[in-house]
Structure 1
Amino acid sequence: MMKTGEGMDRIKILVVEDQTIVALNIKNKLKNLGYDVPCTAVSGEEAIKEAELKKVDLVLMDIMLKGNMDGIEAARIIKSRFGIPVIYLTACTDCETLERAKATEPEGYISKPFKEEDLCETIEAALLKNRLIRKT
Structure 2
Amino acid sequence: MTKTRIMIVEDEWMIAEEIRLVLQSMKYEVTSMSSSGEEAVQNAEKDKPDLALMDIVLEGEMDGIEAANEIRSRFNIPVIYLTAYTDDKILERASITEPFGYIVKPFVNEDLKISIEIAIYKHRMEKERKRFIEELQGALPKITSLSGLLPVCPSCKKIRDADGNWK
TM-score, scaled relative to structure 2: 0.76
- Give the equivalent residue in structure 1 for 2:151: none
Q: How does 1:1-136 map to 2 (within 5 A)?
A: 5=1, 9-136=2-129
Separation in 2, partners of 1:35, 1:20: 19
Gaps of 5+ in 2: 130-167
Moved over 3 A (4+): none
Separation in 2, partners of 1:119, 1:27: 12
The structure with the largest alpha-carbon Rg is: 2
Deviation at 1:66, TM superposition (A): 1.1
Deviation at 1:55, TM superposition (A): 1.3
Separation in 2, partners of 1:104, 1:53: 21
Separation in 1, partners of 2:45, 2:22: 23
Residue identity in the other structure for 1:78? I
Deviation at 1:39, TM superposition (A): 1.2
The aligned length equals 129
Q: Name which structure has the greater RCO, CA cutoff 8 Å, separation 6+.
A: 1
TM-score, scaled relative to structure 1: 0.94
- Give the equivalent residue in structure 1 for 2:139: none
Say which SS state the counterpart of residue 39 (structure 1) adopts. strand
Separation in 2, partners of 1:92, 1:38: 25
Q: Give the % identical residues.
A: 52
Separation in 1, partners of 2:75, 2:18: 26
How large is the RMSD of aligned CA atoms in angstroms? 0.5
Gaps of 5+ in 1: none
